[in-house]
């Protein structure tokens, strides 16, 4: 009889783990708190419009290829490579900057601002690419059983990268470029890790290499949710059941073994192995009552930004916009330093605009457009009261109207606003943190909450707050790492 695995959560981490394990003959069952699969990789449907709920693109598309091969299935969705990657708009500047993968084209965008841009960017990318290739196999895609093993692997990373662990992404850009705009634009990747470029170690400049040279950015034909639909269809074919509206709230265990997980209705879920896709730090504290993950301890950890998200359906088409568009200002350093701690107002916000109906006509009725606005805001530790979320959203929509010259409030026929309060309650995201734990050096690798539980030998974790980190490709890698752990523990891997 094959072993049974209960997966808690149907985010991309849980779904990919279910695929990989079922391909190896495990009997898998999934319980999910939300009413639909996908976790943050979800869909909002309202008033005839659709929006991707959170992720709007991904890099390292080859991780999805590897997932499908490893799970013995055909790729169920089609990548659409983005070009240009995104546009950037600074307040008070009439022109916008288009970020192209082609370096010559990119250099033309900055010709007036940054002398020798192409040569400088080439140097920057060469070093970033080296960090990426020197760490991908050695650190990122690897399980570590001990601190010594981790340090030994780190010691194999060429020493030339060591200073970049100690300096910030911003100081690295500051050394490489002179133009304010160039530095700000290529520091935005720091926010993808959920932190500011002033707090993000310079080694993460490797993300600029992944966006500009390595694999670029991708969307999915028909919308990001096609990823989830494709995987869920395959799981159905494999008779894997997902039980929705089923939240795990307690655990039943003995010294070193988990006996069952208990849902809100009191039902006990039993399996040989348990894989938790809920936040790996939060679960240890809230469900397993581990002192090292108490609320007090979790509050002291470094969490990524919380999102305030606005989903608009408008009764007109937009011209001259791109899939991703960033709206920034000139007080970048001050704003980035203060926004997450709620010590600067949200009346002059920085935000990101995505227009999913541009690539996916099915996302809006004829002659209409669906717009998604993401504004990074303080999490519930710093701003617990979000009763002003609609007002803040009004301010952002009015700012975007001014900057685009389109009265968006007037054109709006559908509007939904989600504050960190909803983000927390929908998916149990700790204090509304959108991307989970941040990636400081003391929260990555061996120091990140582990994908194998420290106490129960049959409990494992997958997803954004365990190894290797957050973002769709990282979460897919986390499913590979946890699968390797389980196979090894079951003696199926040497």
Ligand X SMILES: Cc1cc2nc3c(=O)[nH]c(=O)nc-3n(C[C@H](O)[C@H](O)[C@H](O)COP(=O)(O)OP(=O)(O)OC[C@H]3O[C@@H](n4cnc5c(N)ncnc54)[C@H](O)[C@@H]3O)c2cc1C
Applying CB under 6 A, which residues contact ligand X?
8-14, 31-34, 39-41, 54-58, 247-248, 277-278, 307, 309, 374, 427-428, 434-435, 463-464, 470-472, 475
> Smallest gap, in angstroms, from Cβ of residue 162 to ligand X?
28
C-beta closer to ligand X: residue 107 or 374: 374
C-beta closer to ligand X: residue 246 or 331: 246
> Smallest gap, in angstroms, from Cβ of residue 312 to ligand X?
15
C-beta closer to ligand X: residue 96 or 465: 465
C-beta closer to ligand X: residue 414 or 470: 470
Cα dihedral value 133, 137, 142, 144, nearest 10:
-80
Cα dihedral value 461, 466, 469, 473, nearest 10:
0
> Smallest gap, in angstroms, from Cβ of residue 104 to ligand X?
27
Distance separating alpha carbons of residues 422 and 377, to the nearest angstrom:
13
> Smallest gap, in angstroms, from Cβ of residue 94 to ligand X?
28
> Smallest gap, in angstroms, from Cβ of residue 61 to ligand X?
11
Nearest to 322 by CA among 56, 44, 50: 56
> Smallest gap, in angstroms, from Cβ of residue 15 to ligand X?
8
C-beta closer to ligand X: residue 173 or 435: 435
C-beta closer to ligand X: residue 135 or 422: 422
Distance separating alpha carbons of residues 351 and 420, to the nearest angstrom:
15
Nearest to 364 by CA among 302, 317, 328: 317
Residue nearest to ligand X (CB): 11
> Smallest gap, in angstroms, from Cβ of residue 206 to ligand X?
15
Question: Which residues are paired to 310 by β-bridges?
Answer: 373, 417
Question: Which residues are paired to 87 by β-bridges?
Answer: 98, 325
Which sign does the torsion angle of CA 489, 490, 493, 494 carry? Answer: positive
> Smallest gap, in angstroms, from Cβ of residue 490 to ligand X?
23
CB atoms within 10 A of CB 299: 13
Nearest to 463 by CA among 432, 430, 436: 436
Distance separating alpha carbons of residues 166 and 172, to the nearest angstrom:
11
Spatial neighbors of 171 by CB under 8 A, at least 6 apart, are 202
C-beta closer to ligand X: residue 84 or 471: 471
Distance separating alpha carbons of residues 414 and 404, to the nearest angstrom:
19
C-beta closer to ligand X: residue 174 or 247: 247
């Amino acid at each position: 009889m094959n072993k049974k695995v209960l997966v808690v959560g149907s985010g991309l981490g849980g779904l990919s783990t279910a695929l990989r394990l079922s391909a190896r003959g495990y009997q898998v069952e999934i319980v999910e708190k939300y009413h639909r699969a996908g976790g943050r990789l979800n869909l909002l449907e309202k008033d005839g419009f659709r929006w991707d709920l959170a992720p709007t693109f991904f890099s390292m598309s080859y991780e999805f290829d590897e997932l499908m091969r490893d799970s013995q299935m055909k790729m169920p969705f089609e990548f659409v490579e983005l070009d240009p990657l995104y546009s950037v708009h600074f307040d008070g500047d009439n022109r916008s900057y288009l970020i192209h993968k082609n370096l010559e084209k990119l250099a033309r965008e900055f010709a007036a601002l940054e002398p020798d841009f192409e040569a400088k960017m080439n140097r920057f990318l060469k070093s970033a690419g080296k960090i990426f290739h020197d760490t991908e196999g050695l650190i990122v895609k690897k399980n570590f059983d001990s601190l010594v093993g981790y340090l030994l692997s780190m010691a194999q990373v060429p020493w030339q990268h060591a200073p970049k662990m100690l300096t910030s992404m911003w100081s690295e850009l500051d050394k490489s470029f002179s133009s304010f705009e160039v530095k700000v634009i290529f520091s935005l990747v720091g926010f993808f890790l959920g932190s500011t470029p002033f707090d993000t170690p310079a080694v993460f400049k490797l993300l600029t290499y992944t966006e500009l040279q390595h694999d670029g950015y991708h969307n999915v034909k028909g919308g990001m949710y096609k990823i989830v639909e494709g995987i869920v269809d395959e799981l159905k074919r494999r008779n894997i059941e997902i039980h929705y509206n089923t939240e795990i709230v307690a655990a039943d265990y003995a010294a070193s073994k988990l006996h069952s997980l208990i849902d809100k209705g009191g039902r006990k879920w039993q399996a040989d192995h348990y894989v938790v896709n809920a936040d790996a730090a939060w679960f240890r504290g809230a469900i397993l009552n581990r002192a090292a993950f108490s609320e007090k301890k979790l509050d002291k950890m470094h969490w990524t930004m919380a999102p305030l998200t606005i989903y608009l359906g408008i009764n007109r088409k937009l011209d001259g916009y791109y899939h991703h568009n960033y709206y920034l200002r000139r007080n970048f350093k001050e704003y980035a330093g203060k926004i997450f701690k709620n010590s600067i107002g949200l009346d002059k916000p920085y935000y990101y605009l995505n227009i999913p109906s541009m690539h996916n006509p099915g996302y809006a009725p004829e002659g209409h457009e669906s717009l998604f606005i993401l504004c990074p805001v303080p999490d519930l530790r710093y701003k617990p009261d979000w009763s002003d979320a609609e007002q803040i959203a009004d301010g952002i929509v009015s700012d975007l109207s001014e900057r685009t010259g389109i009265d968006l409030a007037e054109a709006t026929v559908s509007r939904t606003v989600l504050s960190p309060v909803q983000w927390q309650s929908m998916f149990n995201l700790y204090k509304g943190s959108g991307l989970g734990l941040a990636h400081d050096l003391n929260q990555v690798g061996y120091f990140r909450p582990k994908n194998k539980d420290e106490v129960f030998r049959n409990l494992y974790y997958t997803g954004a707050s365990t190894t290797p980190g957050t973002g769709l490709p990282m979460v897919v890698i986390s499913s590979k790492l946890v699968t390797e752990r389980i196979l090894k523990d079951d003696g199926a891997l040497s």
